[in-house]
Amino acid sequence: MQAMQKEEITVLLRHWSEGDQEALEHLLPIVMRELRQLAGGYLKNERNNHTLQPTALINEAYLRLVAQDCPEWQNRSHFFGVAAQLMRQILVDHARAHVAAKRGNAAPKLSLDEALEASHEQAGELLALDDALLSLERLDQRKARVVELRYFGGLTVEEIAQVLSISTATVTREMRLAHAWLLREMTN
């Protein structure tokens, strides 16, 4: 994405935060492209007839984003970080519904990489990853947030650093430590 467009998104987000609904109308087509790419990334390894399509994921995330009363968006990265968090929750809710439909199959342990590419048949693994992330969050909120922004939000190391107001070196270190912790947690 061009630097000018990133700045435009930030300006529109700030105007929306101030209650300007026209800014939201201008923002929508711009962010929908990025949200579609983000959703496509989540669902790229799903089978073609998966019950949750990228458009449905985007629409649900969008509805949850605009339902907020005058959100205080800091910048584009902050917005997409929140969108990533919402998409993760939507996917987890979808996986929970799928597992519940199968009447309580236990979520098997697996590697982090496998869990991040969970498919419809692997709903239990997505739940296991979510459980592991929730455990990590109780121990270290920042590490959990770094993982969420990177793997669910698709943000770059630089964007994560900006959202969390930390250095890129800290982001890299936190990702490495979180990845090791999650691997250990999910394989035990």
Mean pLDDT of the chain: 77
Give the count of domains, the chain.
Answer: 1
Residues 6+ apart with CB under 8 A from 188: 109
For residue 140, the 8-state DSSP code is -
Tell me which residue has tokens 């995330």. 61
Containing structural domain, residue 46: 3-187
Measured CA to CA in angstroms, residue 70 lies from 13, 38, 162 at distances of: 10, 24, 22
pTM above 0.75, yes or no: no
Nearest to 13 by CA among 81, 86, 83, 70: 70
Q: Which range has the top average pLDDT, 45-49, 119-123, 134-138, 168-172?
A: 168-172
| % of the chain residues with pLDDT over 70 | 76
d(CA 145, CA 124): 21
Do residues 136 and 178 make contact, with C-beta atoms less than 8 angstroms apart? yes
Do residues 152 and 80 make contact, with C-beta atoms less than 8 angstroms apart? no
pLDDT digits (tens, 9 = 90+) for 29-71: 888 877 877 777 666 655 555 566 777 777 888 788 877 766 7
What are the structure tokens assigned to 94, written together?
A: 């979808």
